[in-house]
Structure 1
Amino acid sequence: MRDQAIKTRAKARSVGARAAKPVRVRPMLAFLTMLIALVLGSMQAAHAVGLVDAYEAALDHDPQFAGAVQEKRAADANVAIGRSYLMPNLSASYANYRNWNKLTQFDPRCPDGKCSAPQDYRSYAGSVQLRQPLITFEGMARYRYGKATALAGDATFTDRSEDLVVRVLTAYTDAVFALDQVALATAQEKAFSVQLASNEALFKNGQGTRTDVLETSSKLELARADLADAQDNLDNSAHELEALTGLSATLDVASLDRLDEHFEPKLPSPAGFDQWRDIALDSNADLNAQRHTVEAARQQLNVVRAGYYPRVDIVASIGKNQSNALDTVGSRYLTKQAGIEITIPLYSGGMVQASSEQASANYARAQDDLLDKTNKVLIELRKQYNLCNSSMTRIQALEKAVESATLQITATRKSVEAGVRTNVDVLTATQQLYQSRRDLAKARYQYMIASLQLKHAAGTLNEQDLFELSKWFTPNVEPIAKNHVIVPPLVSAH
């Protein structure tokens, strides 16, 4: 009776509450839930990190590129430094002294035959001189040296800029490939877990064998080990991308854009290697920098050899002095001069000859370095050209392999049910599928990197090439393994 009374009072309170609050709660909760989901979705989209975003962040953060910018500024200053040897040189000097002298004269009329008289006076001297080089072999050589060094700096900066594009794509695709590995390893683990549960159920019902359970369990443990390795690779790749771009301290790598499954690689244009070779020899930034370095070494040799040649300057000066000698105490002089000054070197202790030998050796070394870099550039060009072509064939073959492996799993399972195949065949087919998928993803990223490195070696790479590749990446809409993969931040140096 007591329990029935309690239930009656509770029902009455519930009815009274509904009568007092006629507002419908469920539609309101549904609306709020939808609103929160939209807000969270927009926040997640706002924090998505695309390939172009990573490149723009690297432009502002990458220390190597920042160093290249400062190196270019230093190289550009060589033009003004070299020009200064041909420009007028204006100098001024001023000196103000207080002098204490003691004048002694020999005179028989003086005690001991000597007369001494102290002198205390002030003197000063001031002048302004203008020197304009008229004929200077050293000045011309230094000017040409400055221009060559600045041009070498410009070419080096171009090479560093192209290298940044390649490094951004490499770091970004490494992180995305690590995401793919985690996803594939997770899916493989899940597939083996389902297979193990099926084997255990069949074994309990007397339709399976203990061997099937052990085989599947072994594959499952290996899959878990692969997943652990994939997560380590993801952590490392995410931190490398963070160090390059300076993105958020805690990088949500699941927000990275993913490569479209319909990615279609294209043959490099031009198609022939000889054409790429001609382009590289003419446009490669590293080779151009070394060519200007050779010219700078040649001009440095001319600078040293100028020590054998005379120099002609136009000199004009004006000066004013007072009491600059004992016999002019109290006298003031104003001096103006203008004329041509010729300097002819005669002997410098062998310094010019030794410096010439040193500069000649540096010039020969720069020429050898140019030949060495040319060989390395052409080898790298050939390597990336072959990799681009072979990657296309590999991608096409792996796409067919994935299709075949997918069909093979279904066919193998049906064969097991028919008693033709065994559990080992199913496990092998499953592992082959995920291996093919992993190899396909890797081949696609290798092609993208090789295509940029080919253009880098040829000297035709620019940021527009990166923008074109970024069109094949789409925002990730599904988190990895039910949860976003959050990578801990790098340890602060502070």
Structure 2
Amino acid sequence: MDRSAVLLAGAFMLAAGGVLAQTTAATASGVSASGLSTDLMQLYREARLEDPKVLASFAQAKAGHEHEREAMGALLPQVSLNAGVNQIRQENDIIQDSYDAETYSLVLRQYLYNKAAWENYKKFKSLAKQTESEALDAQAEATVELARRYFTALAAEDELELVKAERRTTQESLDRVTALYEKQLALVTDQLDLKARVDLLAAQELEASNQATISRESLAEIVGRPVKERLSRVRDDVHMQVSAQSLETWVREGIAQNPALKASESGVEAAEAALRSGKGGHYPTVSLNLSAQQTNEGYNNALAPRTDSYVAGVGVQVPIYSGGSTSARVRGLYQDQVVAEEQREEIRRRVVKEITSAYLTANSNGEKIEASRLALSSAQLSRVAAEKGLTYGMVNAVDVLAAVRNEFRARRDLLKTQYEFLSNVFTLNRWAGRAPVESVESVNGWLSPSRSVQDIMRP
């Protein structure tokens, strides 16, 4: 376990070095942060070093191993050195005397049999495993949260660009209708409808801008710095689908590897060991005792020649009655074991539910993405036809507004479905117990740093 902690710390230092080198290079070249780009993998590396929840979970795991070592100490030899110097004055009918008495002793005690201490060590050993699994689960959960906030930021910027584009498109239609109205070829109601829509989109643009800023702040909360770089966006040339594994395979994998479930299993083992330790309070303890003593103090604090004594013995302590506290403690520990078992079952059921939900939803999203692309293509053609029809007086402004709204609704649906798919991929991998870095690497391959927010408006 110590070796894995060292490797983990080394990985953190390497990641920190990469981030520092990149930041230094950017500063040296005079490039502003907004001119750079970042992707999900880069933010993941930074978050591993800065996310308080992740850092706290790994600190807790280290503390768990130290508590395990503390419990082991009770099984090892206990050595103590004692020294005492006393000023003694004796008076009787014959003499009055005062002198210094010195006593030095070295005592060693080793348990030969102590069931309670042994089972207590087993409990803390299981608790250390539990905290380690909880740290891995916290890292997996934090990765899902990072991805969710990343795609939320992309979606917010998409919405801002879509509102701007819809406003420009509607403004162009308004300009055409105004020109036709001046020639008495259009109705004033058409002009007013389009102007009202332009004004509404202006207000929505302000709200979308605020949401884009807020979403960036959500990312900054995790990575510990302002995120001003351009975010890598989803490539338009990838086919998104879940792996060919069946749902049953995903569920089996999750039950075998999910860190939260492993943590609950370790919790059950710890509760069982605690119960056995409680029952150990009814068992005798056997200890080996070795001591060496040097003193010049005799019977009744009388001054005596210096005496060296060495004692070796075996002690047996048999508990008989403690007021019923030991039995009550055992009954309480049994209920704690029941609680741990029920919590394990709760988590097992949740693993099955989350994997099933993420798997089915991701598959549905994959099919919906293709359908949304076709719907967007059709909506674009419909909007172009409506605008031409307005010029020739074949349709009115309401028809054009409906066509424009349909096109941008189709764009929103496509982008939203893509982000939902990617979020469900992270959720699926998280509950299946796969390493977070694998999820980030696979999804990061679907992102392109060269694709800008304006590219989402391209047909």
Task: Verify same fold: TM over 0.5.
Answer: yes
Match of 2:91 in 1: 102
Match of 1:151 in 2: 129
The more displaced of 374-383 and 351-360 is: 374-383
Give SS of 1:218's match.
Answer: helix
Match of 2:234 in 1: 259
The structure 2 residue matched to 1:444, chosen from 418, 426, 444, is 418
Q: In the aligned structure 2, how far is the partner of 1:40 from the partner of 1:391?
A: 42
Quick one: structure 1 residues 83 and 221, their matched pair in 2 at CA, closer, same or farther if it must change by over 3 Å? same
Q: In the aligned structure 2, how far is the partner of 1:184 from the partner of 1:298?
A: 58
1:219 aligns with 2:197: yes
Considering only aligned residues, what root-mean-square deviation do their CA atoms show, in Å? Answer: 2.1
1:335 aligns with 2:309: yes
Q: In the aligned structure 2, how far is the partner of 1:315 from the partner of 1:428?
A: 92
User: Percent identity among equivalent residues?
Assistant: 22
**How far is 1:475 from its partner?**
2.1
> Which AA in structure 1 matches 2:166?
Q
**How far is 1:40 from its partner?**
8.7
**How far is 1:289 from its partner?**
0.3
**How far is 1:120 from its partner?**
2.0
Match of 1:177 in 2: 155
The structure 1 residue matched to 2:448, chosen from 466, 471, 474, is 474
The structure 2 residue matched to 1:383, chosen from 357, 361, 383, is 357
Q: In the aligned structure 1, how far is the partner of 2:95 from the partner of 2:186?
A: 131
Q: Is the 8 A contact 1:192 1:216 kept in 2?
A: yes
Paired residues for 1:17-416 under 5 Å = 47-103=36-92, 115=93, 117-248=95-226, 251-252=227-228, 255-270=230-245, 272-326=246-300, 328-416=302-390
1:433 aligns with 2:411: no
The more displaced of 71-80 and 467-476 is: 467-476
**How far is 1:420 from its partner?**
3.2
**How far is 1:163 from its partner?**
1.4
> Which AA in structure 2 matches 1:359?
L
Q: In the aligned structure 2, how far is the partner of 1:324 from the partner of 1:301?
A: 48
The more displaced of 396-405 and 410-419 is: 410-419
Q: In the aligned structure 1, how far is the partner of 2:35 from the partner of 2:181?
A: 51
Q: Is the 8 A contact 1:452 1:461 kept in 2?
A: no
Q: Is the 8 A contact 1:57 1:247 kept in 2?
A: no
Aligned residues: 428
**How far is 1:470 from its partner?**
1.1
Give SS of 1:252's match.
Answer: coil
Match of 1:457 in 2: 431
**How far is 1:44 from its partner?**
6.0
1:192-219 residue CA offsets vs partner (Å, 9 max, x unmatched) = 1111122112111211110111110111
Unaligned runs of 5+ in 2: 1-27
Q: Is the 8 A contact 2:284 2:317 kept in 1?
A: yes
> Which AA in structure 1 matches 2:416?
K
Structure with bigger gyration radius: 1
Q: Is the 8 A contact 2:64 2:128 kept in 1?
A: yes
**TM-score for both structures, normalised by structure 1:** 0.82
Q: Is the 8 A contact 1:85 1:142 kept in 2?
A: no
